Each structure stands twice: as structure tokens, then as C-alpha cells.
A and B are shown apart, each in its own frame.
Chain A
Amino acid sequence: MSVGVSLLKKTTIEAETFVQRLDGRVKFLYFLWATIIVYIFFDPLLNLIFLAVTMALAVYAKCWKPIALTILIIVVPWILFAVPILALPLGFPWNKTIIGYINILGKDYPVYLEGLGWGVTWPLRIAVAISTALLFFLTTNQAKLVATMFKMKFPFKLIYMVIATFQFIPLLASEANTIMQAQIARGLRTDVGFVQKIKNYLAVVIPLTLSALNKVQIRAIALESRGFSAPVKKTLLYEASFTKLDYAFLMTMLLVTVFLAWVYVYIGFSPLAHLPWIWSG
């Protein structure tokens, strides 16, 4: 979670690279496209290729650090937990193909391909989804994000809600920190038992909630005073439009899609790792 807070505080990384210049819709489409493709195939190596391409774009766009950190915190522990539990003979029902043996405390245990494949492929699918989502989020500033959503015909109220959430999170996080410091100054301790920890939680979230609700009405008045619900055409600070760069990126995605469709039809769903098919894989 702390990674998330630092990420959402950061919002966007401003740099003059082609990734930042790409239209928000193109980056959003890349995020959807990559995620769908890694779900269609069941191949950890293909997932790694998608992850490597996304990370290369992130390095170029100078936003690779938060992405790498998020993957390190979410995906790596998941693989470390899933692989031994699923690949060793602990009951994973689709285990059939033994690929080797591992010696634990003087006894040899078989390692199964099905469990290993499952335990690596699923977290890597999520890694691709996370990295592409963060690439979109960290390289598209809020004005562009509003324009992107507006062009995608999202309702105006929904656009406000999404943008407002991004704005509220760092504000509330900072307020929670202030409340927590005040409570600690009054003797709130964190090295306590289960029930006391819940009471401590209440001691922070009650003032936070009341303060947040107080601001709801002020924000509502501010919105109304700017004609938020007025039945007129809304105008934007930034107009989203496609450039040659966007068309080139879209064309590349189209060509890769055609190639991968051919691979799927003629080679199969696991073209590089050659994993066997298992239910819900």
C-alpha cells in the first residue's frame, strides 16, 4: 500500500519523450491490448517479452522505478509463494509431468511442470497488466487524462469522480498522517494487541472521516458555483488529438496482433514455453 501512496502522490512524470507525447487513448489501448493478449496466451516467456517491452518504454519515459518497485512488491512475493506450493506434490490437482527433483532435508520431491507453469504465468500476467497500466498513468497528466476520457465519451460526472479520487488520495493520506502524529503525541501505541490495534485504527479513521465529510459539502458548493451541473457543453483545458506518432504506434500494435493471431492458430496458446493446457490456464 505504501508503494501505492507514493505512486498516487506522484501522479505524472513530466518528460519530453515520445511516450509522454503519445495520446492518452493510445496508451490506454496499449494497456488493454497487452493485458488481453497475455490472458489469451498461456506462456510465461511471452509475458516476459511484453513486460520487457513495457519496461523499455518506461525506462525511456523515465518512469521505470515506481513500476519496477510495484512489481517487486506485488508480483515477486506472489511467485515465491505460488511456485513451491503448486509445483511440489502438495495437492495441485493438474500436476502430471515431472520435470525434475528437488532435495529437501535429504528427501527427493518431484517438481511438476503444470504447477510451475501456473505459479509463474499468472503472476506474470498481472505484472504485464500492472506495468502497462502504470505506464499509462505515470505518463499522462491529469489535464490529458480528462481530455482522453472526454474523447472516449465517458459521462462528465464519472470523469470528475475519477480525477477527484486521484486528487483526494494524497490530501487524505496527508491528513491521516497528521491525525496519526497527533494521536501518537497523545500516547497512541502501535506495539499493542489485536483489539487495541482495531481501537487505534478507529482513533485515526473517525476524525479522518468526519473531516472528509465536512469537506464534501464545501466541494459540492464549489462545483455548483462553477456550473458543474449546468446543462451546457463543457469545455476542456487540453484538446486530445491523434498525431503521426499515435498512428505509427497503433499500426505497430495492429501488425503484432496479426502476427500473434497467426502464432495462436498455427503454433498454439503456449508458443515459447510449450506448457500443457490445464483448466482455467
Chain B
Amino acid sequence: MSQEIREVSPTGKAIIAVVLIPTIAALNYVGGVIVEALKAPIWGDTWATILGTFIGGFWVGAAGGFLYNIIMALTVWGLPSWVWGFANVAIAAIAWFMMKMGWTDLKKPMTWIMMIVLYGLVYPAFTTAISIGIFGGGPLWKPLAAAVYTATLSSTGNFFLANYVQNAFTEIIDKPISFIISVIIAQRIPKRFVLAK
């Protein structure tokens, strides 16, 4: 005799979301710390935003990512950095769009193509606008990225293009890897934690 097993959650989804959002913010933060400890070649502080979107939906992921940036702006990065919160909202929006389009299966070539196009090429246009408007643009303080910036600037003389190429250079590796990490983790999460439909 087969009997359907239903998992019962003792609390409402709204309160779970309220606790999930700071957890995502903290995971983003600790993700960055682990990257430093393992010397992994990524930023590693946005995968939890993508994971939060897979688990709790767009608003939970976006709010968790935004909160992470607010906390960092209020402590380590300085006030203007709060605007990077919108970059996390954009990351959550792309993740939600990819989830809705069914582009989360890593075996499908379309997932890889869209992941690189959206996170590696479209998203850097957004971060370039923020980095020039709020931080004045200029080279990052990572040697390789700064070298790419200098090479583009000296060969084209185009300040905006140099900033875009520098951003694309860093994001085209970091964000798709963050997306892949989130997909792999999301596959291992028990169904009872998934709020998103």
C-alpha cells in the first residue's frame, strides 16, 4: 500500500522568507570569505543571491542580495556601495528569468549559452553604468583586470569601453561559475525548503 508522504511546515512561508533573506545575505558574505581562504579565482559573493532566487523566488533572492550590499555598504565598503544592491537585484532577475525559461539544466547547451550571454555580456553593461556613475570608473585593484583596462584604454582611448571590457573580463568568469554553483546546490536541497514555484 502506497501512502503519499506530505511534509508539514510548522511556520508560514512569509516568516520563513523573513529568516531566509538574512541567511542569503550572510551566505553571500561568507561565500566571499571562503573564496579568499581557498584562493578560488572568483568573487564568490553572489551565488547565494541566485540560490535564494531558486529557493524563495525573485523577491527573496533580490532582497537577500540587496541586504548583503546594504550591510557591506554600512560597514566595510562605504555608503556609495549600496547601489551595488541593484546589481544583486539584476543577478536575481536574470536567475529568475533563466529559471522560468527552464535554462537551469546544465546538460542543455542553451543553459550555457544564455548564462554566458546574460551574465557575461549583458550584466557587465549594468555594472559599468554603476561603476562610472557612482565610483568614477577607472581600474579595479586586481592586477589582471587593471591590465585589461589599461590595454583597452591605451589602444582605443575610449574610457567607457575600457570600463565595460574590464567588467566583462571579471564577470564572464565569476557570474556563470556562481550560477553553476547555485544550480548544483539547488539540486541537493530538500524540497521542504523550496518556496518558489
Contacts and interface: CB of A to CB of B under 8 A. Distances in A.
Contacts of B179: none
Contacts of B76: 3-4, 7-8, 70, 74, 130, 134
A216 B19 contact: yes
Contacts of B150: 85, 90
Contact of B78 (A4, A126, A204, A223): A126
Given A2-B33, A172-B30, A216-B19, A229 B14 contact: yes
B84 to A, nearest CB: 12
Nearest to B184: A202
A224 B12 CA distance: 9
A220 B67 contact: no
A92 B159 contact: yes
Contacts of A90: 150, 153-154
Given A85-B150, A168-B26, A134 B75 contact: yes
A80 B140 CA distance: 11
Interface string B60-87: 0001000110111111111111000000
B6 interface: no
B75 A126 contact: no
B11 A204 contact: no
Q: Is the interface of B mostly helix, strand, loop or mixed?
A: helix
A32 B79 contact: yes
Contacts of B44: 201
A57 interface: no
A6 to B, nearest CB: 10
Given A85-B138, A216-B20, A221-B11, A91 B40 contact: no
Interface string A106-124: 0000000000001101100
A180 B34 contact: yes
A198 B177 CA distance: 8
A208 B30 contact: yes
Interface in B57-115: 63, 67-68, 70-81
Nearest to B26: A168
Interface string A84-115: 01100011110000000000000000000000
B77 A130 contact: yes
A169 B30 contact: yes
Interface of A: 1-5, 7-8, 31-32, 35, 39, 70, 74, 77-78, 80-82, 85-86, 90-93, 118-119, 121-122, 125-130, 132-134, 136-137, 157, 160-162, 164-166, 168-169, 171-173, 176, 180, 190, 194, 197-198, 200-202, 204-206, 208-210, 212-213, 215-217, 219-221, 223-224, 228-229, 280-281
Given A169-B30, A210-B188, 14 more contacts: A2-B33, A4-B32, A4-B75, A74-B77, A81-B140, A85-B146, A91-B159, A122-B135, A136-B74, A137-B75, A161-B21, A164-B19, A172-B29, A172-B30
17 contacts: A1-B32, A81-B146, A91-B162, A119-B138, A126-B78, A129-B79, A129-B81, A164-B19, A169-B71, A172-B30, A197-B40, A201-B38, A201-B44, A201-B181, A206-B185, A223-B15, A224-B11
